[in-house]
Copies of this chain bind each other. A is one copy, B any other.
Amino acid sequence: MSLLSLFSRRGSAPVARERLQLIIAHERADNGRSDLVVTLREEILAVIAKHAAIERDKVSIKAEQREGVSTLDINIELPTIAVGMRKAA
């Protein structure tokens, strides 16, 4: 699994960019609970959006399911502006 590969791909020169990556993995038991990663996805994005401007086309989401484990890999490229400068919603 290429976890956090985005971040390790940095070259030697520091670049003024911001990224947020979330990996959510849910190891399910067979107890009828719905898949938490699906449930949590939009709500967690909403939480992030309260604190940072998120453009939907700067969000990439990969979902994976195997052996009772659901994984969601959310990558968000954040605008590199100071928080105080962004418009209030």
Residues of chain A touching chain B, judged by Cβ–Cβ distance below 8 Å, are: 1, 3-4, 7, 10, 14, 16-34, 36, 39-40, 43-44, 47-48, 50-52, 67-69, 71, 78, 80-84
Contact = CB atoms under 8 A, between A and B. Distances in A.
Contact of A36 (B17, B51, B67, B71): B51
A57 to B, nearest CB: 19
Q: How many copies does the complex hold?
A: 2
Given A22-B22, A27-B19, A33 B68 contact: no
A26 B83 CA distance: 15
The SS class assigned to the A binding surface is mixed
Contacts of A40: 47-48, 51
Contact of A18 (B33, B47, B84): B33
13 contacts: A1-B3, A20-B26, A21-B25, A21-B27, A22-B22, A22-B24, A23-B23, A31-B81, A32-B82, A33-B52, A34-B83, A36-B52, A40-B47
